Structure 1
Amino acid sequence: MTTSVAGRTPRRNDPHRRERIVEACLDVISDVGVAGTTHRRVASAADVPLGSMTYHFDGMDDLLRAAFTLFADRVAARMEHRLRDAATAEEAQAAVVAAVLHDVVGTHGDLVLTHELYTLAARRPEYRTITRTWMARSRAALEQHVDPATARMLDALVEGLTIHRALDPDPPGEAFVVEAVGRVLGQDHEPER
């Protein structure tokens, strides 16, 4: 049993508090956007004292950079994992299709986080490091299977298709995604009718 000094609550051992705050920040951004994200909301979502915010982060920008870096890292890692396991050109094409269908914008929260990050990067150059790193990792994963120019085209196609699949009232289906990826890869396909 831990004893406390005259009325003081024993200090909680919480070695993963910073990580929990970052995760909570992603949840808050997903719910209310960057504009609605405050230290108070994040602290409440992370179930930590408000003072933890300034102890672990130098301000909201520091927290946002940590959160968006974690998010981008996770999405890039999924792409790297899929493409690392592809041994043939057909498997690489299937991996790119799977990334579009399942990985880049896997949930509505991922969609919101992606667009919030893009908006920040468009407005504030210091956030472009996160998007550039994400793009570089995606392209490097693709370059295991195609030349750099094709990797860049595929990377842009993946982002564009995921946005269209998330926001279009009549989103492109799997057959369309397969055909689009195949066309960039120079494979002959019968057009979807």
Structure 2
Amino acid sequence: MTGETPRSRRFDPGRRARIIDAVLGLIADEGVAGTSHRKVATRADVPLGSMTYHFASMDELLREAFSRFTNAVIDRFEIRLAAARNIDEARLAVADIIHEDVFATRDDLVLTHELYALAAREPAYRELISEWMRRSQQALGRHFEPDIARELDALIEGLTIHRALGEGSRDRERTLDTVRRLTS
């Protein structure tokens, strides 16, 4: 050796976050079925052994990664609605959520659908979806009655899926008109 020390991996305070970033990226690229400890460790540039040090199982890693993802999505949702000062601005915020926020990237779309698939099979992931919906409806409830907030939440979900998959209207004004009719 020439006096250089190998890259130290012992003190790595960002390792856990890097692992979560890596698993989310891997799921977006290959799906949950294509995700393994080895692939995540390689992508995160961490030793394979640190995977089980930080996460007892792949299920724990997936739950934590999807929890971080859903929290980031709902945080954007809540910020958008919190900025609305009246009903008209709230309606505009809903249209912006549909057209700009929910599936802002291809990865957001894929991660959401991977989470839906897991939630269809596993109760722990249904809890994540339920919390996401509860927080969405709570944010909408700042401006709309509870029944309308639930319907708007479903409209947001459905229209973003249709738009993202190329089947829905890309016309923001049409979306805004639908929101106005539903909330009048």
TM-score, with structure 2 as normaliser:
0.93
Task: In structure 1, give the amino acid aligned to 2:16.
Answer: R
Structure 1 window deviating more from structure 2 (7-16 vs 89-98): it is 7-16
Give the distance between the partners of 1:78 and 1:31, measured in 2 at CA.
Answer: 23
Q: CA deviation at 1:172?
A: 3.5
Please list the CA deviations of residues 95-115 of structure 1 after superposition, one character each: whole Å capped at 9, or x if unmatched: 111111111111111000000
d(CA) in 2 for partners of 1:184, 1:67? 34
Structure with higher Rg: it is 1
Q: Counterparts of 2:69 and 2:43 in 1: how far apart (Å)?
A: 17
Q: Does 1:12 align with 2:19?
A: no
CA distance in 1, matches of 2:174, 2:9: 56
Q: Which runs of 4+ in 1 moved over 2 A?
A: 7-12, 168-172
Aligned counterparts of 1:139 and 1:169: Cα–Cα separation in 2: 25
Deviation at 1:16, TM superposition (A): 1.6
RMSD in angstroms over aligned alpha carbons? 1.8
Instruction: Output the CA distance in 2 between the equivalents of 1:40 and 1:175.
Output: 47
Structure richer in helix, relative to its length = 2
Task: Write out aligned runs for 1:20-169 (5 A).
Answer: 20-169=18-167
- Partners in 2 of 1:161 and 1:17 — Cα distance? 37
Report how many residues are paired: 182
For 2:176, the equivalent position in structure 1 comes to 178
Are 1:97 and 1:181, in contact at CA under 8 Å, matched by a contact in 2? yes
Determine the C-alpha separation between the residues in 2 that align with 1:8 and 1:79.
44
Distance 1:132 1:47 in 2: 33
The higher-RCO structure (CA 8 Å, 6+ apart) is: 2
Q: In structure 2, how many angstroms separate the alpha carbons of the residues matched to 1:39 and 1:53? A: 7
Structure 1 length-normalised TM: 0.89
Q: Which amino acid aligns with 2:134?
A: A
Percent identity, please: 52
The residue type equivalent to 1:123 in the other structure is: R
- Alignment partners' CA distance in 1, 2:6 and 2:116: 45
Flag structure 1 segments of 5+ consecutive residues without an equivalent. 187-193
**Cross-structure match for 1:191:** none
Change (3 A) 1:75 1:99: same
Q: Which runs of 5+ in 2 are unaligned?
A: none
Q: Per-residue deviation at 1:79?
A: 0.6
